[in-house]
Amino acid sequence: MKSPGSDAPAKGALSGIKVLDFGQMVSAPYCAKLFSDYGADVIKVELPAGDAARDVGPFPGDVAHREKSGLYFINNTNKRGVTCDVTSPAGRSLFLRLLAWADVLIENNPPGQMAAWQLDYASIQAVNPKLVMISITPFGQSGPYSAWHGYDLNAYHLTGASSRYCGRPGEMPLEHGTFSADYFGAISAATWGMAAVYGRELVGGGQHVDVSCAEAIAAAFIGGQNIGGYAQDGRFDKRTGVGMPQGAPATILPCKDGHVWMLALEPGQWNGLRKVMGNPDWADLEIFQNMKTRAENADVIYSFIVEWTMQHTKMEIQEKCQAVGCPITAVYTVAEAAEQAHLKARGYFVDMEHPELGRIRNLGGPFKLPASPGGPVRPAPLLGQHNEEVYGEVLGLSVGEIEVLRSQGVV
């Protein structure tokens, strides 16, 4: 992408910001990816054993390979990668020199672990008073649960989100999956971490951004409606299974080749759906004339609608309903979403070359910034790929000095 009115390539929105990614798996790496995909210079620092995501996959053909993990690849684009054993005195010294260079440190290690490495905020602030440290953990840096062992799903279920959303009424709650808490925590961390970077002059230096993934989920999934309602009169919403109980049609229904999300609550939407279905006689019944009475007779109305949906494909239903102002959409599979014309038209898919994976499709930048580029350009780094480049150019180490560190197992 070029700058408006110029032949020169546009700089990324976060160009000039220097970041160390000292995280594993999802939350910290994805937070750092949001910085790197929008122009920041991000160096991923891995212990010699590497990011745990390298061993998770998915792998092509289900054959494990530390340089072919899909989870690692998707969360680490546009970064330079180095190794550093911070458990050794020489490695910790090397890491502190990188911290002196950086504007931001992003990490998701247990609070006790960072303290054991003498890399907690109080320790590193002396090295770089302007450093913004972003810590992302399941339960936060303080409180009685901060030292608990936990992962993404522990944070998710701690909030009551599974009681609210996942599962059928009267049955056991279900897990949500797909690292929801980690990704929500990462986006929250990137937002307020970036605010801390730009606010350094206001607060007189850096600060420690403490992000609890559980709290990010509580705010986004549970929200003020439930928290406030419970505080006022002890009432709160619970899971309803598939569909909305307050109105109908508002549920997922089967069709000829899959499923559709049916939503036609307002009079104009309902009349549009009636028109698409050919204005059947049953739709004129008095009990179907407002969304409340339709909801009270949901089993009846859904049986009628399913007779119609099963005669059509989900794309036919989507296109016909959208044409009359009825917000009904196909329920896409992952494979269908990967070929979706809308996402393609918005440039959300990016094909990249990787030395081990070959040519592979990646997701583009999740936020559109017309005046500056965003999204992945370079693939995730191999383990220690940029040791010579970073330690040579950033810290000024000679080839011989780097080789000594390598022989000692520091890098």
DSSP for 132-199, please give it.
Answer: EEEEEESS-SSSTTTTS---HHHHHHHTTHHHHHSS-TTS------TTHHHHHHHHHHHHHHHHHHHT
pLDDT at 378: 93
* Residue partners of 204: CB distance under 8 A and separation at least 6: none
Q: Distance between CA atoms of 212 and 186, rounded to whole angstroms?
A: 10
3-class DSSP state for residue 263? strand
DSSP string across 37-52: TTT-EEEEEE-TT--G
- Find the radius of gyration of the CA atoms of the chain: 25
pLDDT at 3: 43
- Residue that has been written with the tokens 């998701």 in this structure: 108
Q: Distance between CA atoms of 141 and 161, rounded to whole angstroms?
A: 21
CA distance readout (Å), 268 to 99, 237, 296, 390:
59, 28, 20, 60
Tokens linked to 205: 């230096």
Q: Which residues pair with 18 in a beta bridge?
A: 41
Tens digit of pLDDT per residue, the chain (411 long)? 444 444 444 678 999 999 999 999 999 999 999 999 999 999 999 999 999 999 998 999 999 999 999 999 999 999 999 999 999 999 999 999 999 999 999 999 998 899 999 999 999 999 999 999 999 999 999 999 998 988 898 898 888 888 878 888 888 888 887 899 999 999 999 999 999 999 998 888 999 999 999 999 888 777 666 667 767 787 777 777 777 778 889 999 999 999 999 999 998 999 999 999 999 999 988 888 888 889 888 889 999 999 999 999 999 999 999 999 999 999 999 999 988 889 889 888 999 999 999 999 898 888 888 888 789 999 999 999 999 999 999 999 999 999 999 999 999
CB atoms within 10 A of CB 242: 10
Q: Which residues pair with 133 in a beta bridge?
A: 105, 208
CA 241 to chain centre: 24
Q: What architecture is domain 250-336?
A: 2-Layer Sandwich (3.30)
pLDDT at 227: 67
Residue ranges of the chain that CATH labels 3.30.1540.10? 250-336
User: Are residues 44 and 405 in contact, defined by beta-carbon separation less than 8 angstroms?
Assistant: no
pLDDT at 225: 63
Q: Distance between CA atoms of 394 and 373, rounded to whole angstroms?
A: 25
* Residue partners of 308: CB distance under 8 A and separation at least 6: 277, 280
Task: Strands of 16-131 (E only): list them.
Answer: 18-22, 41-46, 80-83, 104-107
Q: Which superfamily, per CATH, for 18-221+350-407?
A: Crotonobetainyl-coa:carnitine coa-transferase; domain 1 (3.40.50.10540)
CA distance readout (Å), 149 to 55, 215, 261:
20, 16, 38
Residue ranges of the chain that CATH labels 3.40.50.10540? 18-221+350-407
User: Are residues 153 and 176 in contact, defined by beta-carbon separation less than 8 angstroms?
Assistant: yes
